[in-house]
Structure 1
């Protein structure tokens, strides 16, 4: 490996290595593969050592780039004159695709999805922005849901993984009304909330909302609800009170029934509706205004509204509601929704219809209902249907892995009789809460069955 004296992008180098694997009819995954590929090169009259190949394919970690000689020889192996010719072809392809609309074509979607990945990895933001601007129609309406979700998922993976990419991509998304709605509706979750989403919503998202947009009010409600949730999970009572006050000014509780809630399609507005009532209960508690009378009034309205929505909508709303009632010390009210709870689980076990949007809600729903029954002395054999759901479908979205695993282990604590096993699950759950800096869940867990903080996680 030597000092770079040629034009390159990481995308182009990776593309070349992929072409080499195709020509050699093999995948390079380990040191043994490197020796085999070196032999293949030798048969073609090309001398590249196994150690160089290992560095090229990141089997041996190296911060340097390959030499021009190595790249020329790899290009020669795949039938291209030299590296410069290969690089020029790749660069032309990027420029062409980045300005091309793919609305009418399915044939090239996989290659263009790869382009999005490599633009992100290479930090080639302008070609990526050109590509997204040329294909905004993908993100409007419901005709291209699978495509727009795949594209946004690829972008979201890099946003979570790389702070530099996050810094460049999120401002672009938030300033584009179409992309903003699609991305923030689908990809903001608890795992990323306290690490970056809350800060960005507070500093950038709200100020880029358009007051003349017909969904402006709903977007504000969603924003403040998310910020209150983040404040709860970071133990900031001051922010809970601040944002709770702002939220109630925008939408007073007396105007918050599902029919009055901003939005047109019930199934689309159930999530912000549920989030609003979740944080409203929490706000009442921390502001000192929580009374059984207003809780009962709130729950009566929720019970009536939830009778109008699907079991998916119920799972989203009930997961949040049960968590809120647990937080404010009103677990006994959870049992008022036992009928809804059983219908939701029965429908899921029968059909396996758990989507990425509601899998977090489902496991949260099971945990808080089970915890309430456990604390109120109800026979636990009647309440655990978690393993049935787990068997039916593995409900695990990688984006919410830490949150999901927290609740998975917390449920295991409730199910377990053996004290050593119980301690193990508590420690594991604590680690997952710690991974996402969720101070509320960490504190909640430490009070669980009067266990002390696991020693291995002490500061």
Structure 2
């Protein structure tokens, strides 16, 4: 087998693992072609049939087709994919640098371990030039998060991470929905992150995060609330980044819920959320954060009865869950299991997020997985899960799961 054929066979296997489905029929290739279209990558079903060996072909795939296969797995192009496979998968020596003469996770870890922060800065500078894929990015992010906590939220390290573009992405970006023990993350993004990037979008992001965290835990920070209301006075929602749109709706729902006027506005919120979820390609976080906020105040019935938003939720979950296992889809999946699962024929196989996702927010991850297990449990096992889940959610103030699972 020549090298090109070997790599084509290899990437086909990797794509099957990524989408959690074997491609062994023409119907499978139609489904896969649609999945690629969702990421704006165009490969026809007939081309997939030739690539996966479902139909016979003696012709080699075009370079553009190979590039598109690589892009689906988050590589720049086919050449970048080949280089990566050659560099990282042609041997089993895990002690080599991730990037020859450049970034090294091993060097970063030992520098963090001995608090050699000059060396940490050097590795973060190298990381900016390092071509990464998601699994490596989350792996490095979790490594940094681990040592931030080991060093008792070391101020010097938090400053270094805030001043570095790589540090901001790896820590302040990846850990934004984490447990936030003793408000440490709230303090970190407000005191260290924000002064480095004090533009409108980052200010809104930090303000939304702090405000939502407070309300979910049963309090409200009025100076932050006033800052938020000033920020959104003349806001153009349609031009916001999709994450900020999700934060905007989450915060407004939480504020109205706290002020006990959400019942008057819930239908309007659902209509607006479904509108933006329909026109925005990346809609998972808008749906997930809105679901959490509405369920936090017990608006389960209103969610279930809104036909449009449930159609979008169903489409988003079914189309994206096998190619983009995100924390947002984990939340949407749980909502689907409790509100739509029994309305649809067939068997649903829930996906599981590996530890690289939601690692910071381990408490919510455990609650989501326990609630998912509860759907499929029977008899004594189900009773035991129910008892433990209720106690765990009450202890950690995860009210949206309590209201979703146990409220009629």
Shared fold per TM-score greater than 0.5: yes
CA contact (8 A) 1:364 1:407 kept: yes
Q: Does 1:441 align with 2:361?
A: no
Q: How does 1:54-203 map to 2 (within 5 A)?
A: 106-108=99-101, 112-133=104-125, 135=126, 137-138=128-129, 144=132, 150-160=139-149, 162-164=150-152, 166-176=154-164, 179-181=167-169, 183-192=171-180, 196-203=184-191
Q: Does 1:260 align with 2:239?
A: yes
- CA distance in 1: counterparts of 2:184 and 2:158, whole angstroms: 10
- CA distance in 2: counterparts of 1:384 and 1:223, whole angstroms: 42
1:119 CA drift (Å): 1.0
Cα distance per residue 1:263-317 (max 9 Å; x no partner): xxxxxx212210221111011111234343x33333322222211233xx22222
Match of 1:8 in 2: none
- CA distance in 1: counterparts of 2:311 and 2:405, whole angstroms: 27
Match of 2:80 in 1: none
Q: How does 1:59-458 map to 2 (within 5 A)?
A: 106-108=99-101, 112-133=104-125, 135=126, 137-138=128-129, 144=132, 150-160=139-149, 162-164=150-152, 166-176=154-164, 179-181=167-169, 183-192=171-180, 196-206=184-194, 208-211=195-198, 216-236=199-219, 238-239=220-221, 241-252=222-233, 255-257=235-237, 259-261=238-240, 269-292=241-264, 294-310=265-281, 313-335=282-304, 336=306, 337-348=309-320, 352-355=322-325, 358=326, 360-371=327-338, 373=339, 380-382=341-343, 388-390=349-351, 394-396=353-355, 397=357, 398-418=359-379, 420-429=380-389, 433=393, 438=396, 440-441=397-398, 445=402, 449=406
Match of 2:36 in 1: none
Relative to structure 1, the CA distance from residue 121 to residue 178 in structure 2 (aligned partners, 3 Å threshold; closer, same or farther) is: closer
TM-score, normalised relative to structure 2: 0.64
Unmatched tracts of structure 1, length 5 or more: 1-104, 262-268, 451-459
Q: Larger relative contact order (C-alpha < 8 A, sep ≥ 6)? A: 2
CA contact (8 A) 1:366 1:386 kept: no
Relative to structure 1, the CA distance from residue 353 to residue 290 in structure 2 (aligned partners, 3 Å threshold; closer, same or farther) is: same
1:407 CA drift (Å): 0.9
1:384 CA drift (Å): 9.8
- CA distance in 2: counterparts of 1:195 and 1:421, whole angstroms: 35
Relative to structure 1, the CA distance from residue 432 to residue 108 in structure 2 (aligned partners, 3 Å threshold; closer, same or farther) is: farther
- CA distance in 2: counterparts of 1:385 and 1:406, whole angstroms: 26
Match of 1:71 in 2: none
1:231 CA drift (Å): 0.7
Relative to structure 1, the CA distance from residue 194 to residue 345 in structure 2 (aligned partners, 3 Å threshold; closer, same or farther) is: farther
Match of 2:20 in 1: none
CA contact (8 A) 2:296 2:400 kept: no
Cα distance per residue 1:41-84 (max 9 Å; x no partner): xxxxxxxxxxxxxxxxxxxxxxxxxxxxxxxxxxxxxxxxxxxx
1:249 CA drift (Å): 1.1
- CA distance in 2: counterparts of 1:387 and 1:424, whole angstroms: 23
1:228 CA drift (Å): 1.7
Q: CA RMSD in A?
A: 3.5
Relative to structure 1, the CA distance from residue 228 to residue 422 in structure 2 (aligned partners, 3 Å threshold; closer, same or farther) is: farther
Unmatched tracts of structure 2, length 5 or more: 1-97
- CA distance in 2: counterparts of 1:414 and 1:444, whole angstroms: 13
Say which one has the larger Rg: 1
- CA distance in 2: counterparts of 1:219 and 1:321, whole angstroms: 20
- Equivalent residue of 2:239, what SS? coil
CA contact (8 A) 1:152 1:183 kept: yes
- CA distance in 2: counterparts of 1:417 and 1:148, whole angstroms: 39
Relative to structure 1, the CA distance from residue 383 to residue 327 in structure 2 (aligned partners, 3 Å threshold; closer, same or farther) is: farther
1:114 CA drift (Å): 0.5
TM-score, normalised relative to structure 1: 0.57
1:339 CA drift (Å): 0.6
- CA distance in 1: counterparts of 2:181 and 2:249, whole angstroms: 19
CA contact (8 A) 1:174 1:205 kept: yes
Relative to structure 1, the CA distance from residue 301 to residue 405 in structure 2 (aligned partners, 3 Å threshold; closer, same or farther) is: same
- Equivalent residue of 1:307, what SS? helix
